[in-house]
Amino acid sequence: MPKKAPGERWRYIAFRVSEGGPFARNDFLSSLIHRARGTVMDNGFRITVYETEVAILKVPHKLKDDAIALLVSVDRVSGRPCKVETLKTSGTIKTLKDKYLKEEAVARRTWE
């Protein structure tokens, strides 16, 4: 991922693999990188959080819409069909972690 240029802002996109998963982080990342080759997203993103329930993708703010399109275009991981669903976009990672990762942890404790 390129270094941050002065004045550049980031967007964080929360997403989940709603069908076909769970997948290992490296398997999902390989599929995402393969889809991004030759597009404006090539080397333009980073998966900052990858949990079974929710993951967070970091992208430059100008590439947010391209990143969302890239995420939903992933239909196969490790040869298995899947569906990726974007949940929310934020300017801070803390907002997404507070909303999705804490909610998921509470839900897990409730059902265990």
pLDDT tens profile 5-44: 667 889 999 999 888 878 889 999 999 999 999 888 888 8
> The CATH number of 10-111 is which of 3.30.70.1350, 3.40.50.1100, 3.30.70.3250, 3.40.50.1370?
3.30.70.3250
Residue 112 binned pLDDT confidence (cut-offs 50, 70, 90): very low
Q: In this structure, which amino acid lies at residue 24?
A: A
Of 76, 84, 34, 27, nearest in space to 56 by CA: 84
71, two tokens: 């995420």
**Rounded to whole angstroms, how far apart are CA atoms 86 and 69?**
10
